[in-house]
Chain A
């Protein structure tokens, strides 16, 4: 089955992509660039790096821009999926949704209306095992944005290692923070994945931070040999 993977550039969508590659044929990545930083569906700090990730994975990319207005952005998603069907013949869509009923419901409805399969291989996954798998399977992931207490600016740009997972576990035990950041407490950026032919190297990045809210905006990155 030919599938398109909805990709934000973060760990969940690219891990889901790896799951899909093991079982089916991933025909393309699909990325929605939102102009609205408050978008519930699509905003991520470094979505502009998805083209580099697609190149690293050797996958074509369908990229659609959206103003990010609440329900209009769903029409933009539908347009992106239609485009992926037309260009790459996808029969289904893969997402990295873990717990968000809001996001999952909307993608399911659009897939249903377009007669597409919808797969969510991380849906209600064991978050401990998932985070561990990221590390053991060779994903290189950095924290690209923090949006909740107690995260401070020192978290920006940190790579998710076993020690960082331990710290996140301790934080999630004390604060209302999910281990995976599924509640939007932090965002991630994937620099390398087991299925990447090359990895991403960041040359320039600008951190912005105030009051437990911050992002690291990558302004220059290139692919390098693994």
Chain B
């Protein structure tokens, strides 16, 4: 089971079908089952979860950054986590990085600089961006990819946590598919 964490400004918001539902469809298409929960409704990791995806939010929605305490439970888990855009910002903060202004809207070129099981080989690919803020590289993390604007992907060296700044649900579904593959190949928490 893959847990999809909805980071939008409230549960059942108008942003849900835009930022959570497409990820759910990719997970299910990849052979995974998905459970969706709003971040404000969770204090600990449910049982039977093999991987967690922190979904993105609307460009103007940064409310998740005002509630860092709502994500502390993530630090106790050892299962794979993928943070997308807003989710990457949450992971970066938990790992000691900072959220910094770095606006990108639309297609850009992402350069993979470090071969990785989720991001694949070193190369350049086009990706869809929708963010006003990026992150600094947290301590203990490796930058996997970047654009001219900001870090596009990192991986923690201490735990299987990936952050991607681009939105893989647009034209790069393979990122979610590979993450689901990694998650389902390991033990559930």
**A-contacting 9-mer, from B7-15, B65-73, B156-164:** B7-15
Number of chain B residues whose Cβ lies closer than 8 Å to a Cβ of chain A: 23
Residue A174 CB within 8 A of the other chain: no
Residues of B within 8 Å of A118, CB to CB, are 58-60
Residues of B within 8 Å of A108, CB to CB, are 59, 105-106, 130
State whether B25 touches A123 (Cβ < 8 A). no
State whether B18 touches A121 (Cβ < 8 A). yes
B119-173 with Cβ < 8 A to chain A: 128, 130, 132, 169-171
State whether A101 touches B106 (Cβ < 8 A). yes
Residue A125 CB within 8 A of the other chain: yes
Residue B186 CB within 8 A of the other chain: no
Residues of B within 8 Å of A119, CB to CB, are 14-15, 18, 58
Residues of B within 8 Å of A85, CB to CB, are none
Q: Using a Cβ cutoff of 8 Å, how many contacts connect chains A and B?
A: 60
**B-contacting 9-mer, from A17-25, A58-66, A210-218:** A17-25
Q: What is the CA–CA distance of A5 and B173 in the complex, to the nearest angstrom?
A: 28
Find the B residue at minimum CB distance from A109. B105
Number of chain A residues whose Cβ lies closer than 8 Å to a Cβ of chain B: 24
Residue A40 CB within 8 A of the other chain: no
Residue B40 CB within 8 A of the other chain: no
State whether B18 touches A94 (Cβ < 8 A). no
Find the A residue at minimum CB distance from B126. A101
Find the A residue at minimum CB distance from B106. A105
State whether A124 touches B22 (Cβ < 8 A). yes
Closest approach, in angstroms, between the C-beta of A134 and any C-beta of chain B? Answer: 15
State whether A123 touches B107 (Cβ < 8 A). no
Residues of B within 8 A of A (CB): 12-15, 17-18, 21-22, 25, 58-61, 103, 105-107, 128, 130, 132, 169-171
Residues of A within 8 A of B (CB): 19-20, 23-24, 92, 94, 101, 105, 108-109, 111-112, 115-126
